Amino acid sequence: MKKLICLLLLIQCGFIIAQTKTVVTQYGEKLNISPYANNGLTASDGYIQLGGTLMKSSVLTTTSAYTLAIQGLQAGAATDNVLVSDANGVLKYVSRANFGGDNLGDHSATKDLLMNGKNINNAANITATGKTSTQTAQISQGLDGLAPGTGYVATSADNAGNIIWKPLANIPGSSSIAFFVQSSGKSSAGAPTSSPSAVPGLTNISYTAPATGKLILQLAAYTWLSYTSYQMSATLAFTNTQINLLSNGSTIATGMSTPMGSFNIGTNPECTTLLTRINVVKGTKYNFTVSISDFYNSANTPGSCGGTYSWEGNTCPSTLMGTLIPD
């Protein structure tokens, strides 16, 4: 029995001796060194090296005085994973693709946003607390989904300030020149009121209303005695000239001028202005004509003409201008 106990003690001692080594320092101190390493360390040829499997949860504690740095790291790629830590400081990695875009809404900027020439896309609304300035601006579509055409203007669709694009002629309360035409000749002299003479260039003017509203018509008509040169007369020469503006064959405005003269009678031109308004409907075609007739003239005159007046190298055309004010 005693022999068996001694044998067991020798075996146990042998294991202990095999697991540790005793080293004597230069000061005579004896140190027991284990040839084994774990928990992130590896024994190799008598050395304990960094690297290995962790055997338990481990923590490295740094301070402001004792920091941790790793030098000589290689440059990474845009597709590499990103090192992160959770709420307990445990290190993990996350694929870069999982980050998506920066959530700009959860923090405030501390300086101006520099886009480096890039665009801001898919912005629902931009609210400014001060003035907004830009060298270029583009609104491709309005609230109604319609793209603008050349010459369109942006206007508010509602009290919230939502924008829609419209041609100026379709904006209520605005005004725009619908047309402006000039005479290209003169009417026949002394035409009776029963058969007035049309003014060349101011005949059959076609206009299609782009919007429903009011069309303001302004006619400036030259009329004159139809003499071709000075005439000698001892009595007064005059004519009452009637000026008519017609729309689709119906008279919408009438004016009167009275060119007159005595002794050395010339053409004696007058310019008469007619101003009127008609209601127009979007898409409807209108036809305008200006005509001249003699309501009454003295016995010693050939009557009057109207249209483009020319005398001594000067040319004065009669004009008709339409201005549309949409409803």
Residue 290 has pLDDT above 80, yes or no: yes
Q: What is the pLDDT of residue 259?
A: 83
Q: How confident is the model at residue 321 (pLDDT cuts 50, 70, 90)?
A: very high
Stretch 66-76: mean pLDDT, rounded?
88
User: Terminus-to-terminus CA distance in the chain, angstroms?
Assistant: 124
Amino acid at site 30 = K
Stretch 241-246: mean pLDDT, rounded?
96
Q: Which of 92-106, 162-176, 283-297 has the lowest mean pLDDT?
A: 92-106
Q: How confident is the model at residue 106 (pLDDT cuts 50, 70, 90)?
A: confident
Residue 178 has pLDDT above 90, yes or no: yes
Q: How confident is the model at residue 185 (pLDDT cuts 50, 70, 90)?
A: very high
Check: CB of residue 265 under 8 Å from CB of residue 225. yes
State pLDDT tens for residues 245-287. 999 999 999 999 988 776 666 678 899 999 999 999 999 999 9
Q: Could you give the CA distance from residue 188 to residue 19 in angstroms, rounded to a whole number?
A: 135
More confident residue, 145 or 208: 208
Q: What is the pLDDT of residue 21?
A: 66
Q: What is the pLDDT of residue 39?
A: 84
Q: What is the pLDDT of residue 143?
A: 82
Residue 153 has pLDDT above 70, yes or no: yes
Residue 225 has pLDDT above 60, yes or no: yes
Percent of the chain topping pLDDT 70:
85
For the chain, domains (ranges, CATH) are 176-326 (2.60.120.40)
Stretch 3-26: mean pLDDT, rounded?
50
- What are the structure tokens assigned to 59, written together? 């923590």
- Among 254, 240, 178, smallest CA distance to 214 is for 178
CA distances for 53 relative to 35, 42, 50, 70, angstroms: 17, 9, 10, 20
State pLDDT tens for residues 18-46. 456 676 667 777 766 666 778 878 887 76
Q: What is the pLDDT of residue 293?
A: 94
pTM above 0.85, yes or no: no
Residue 233 has pLDDT above 90, yes or no: no
Check: CB of residue 161 under 8 Å from CB of residue 305. no
Stretch 196-208: mean pLDDT, rounded?
97
More confident residue, 10 or 128: 128
CA distances for 9 relative to 15, 24, 34, angstroms: 10, 26, 21
Q: Which of 72-76, 208-212, 233-237 has the lowest mean pLDDT?
A: 233-237
Residue 109 has pLDDT above 70, yes or no: yes
Residue 15 has pLDDT above 60, yes or no: no
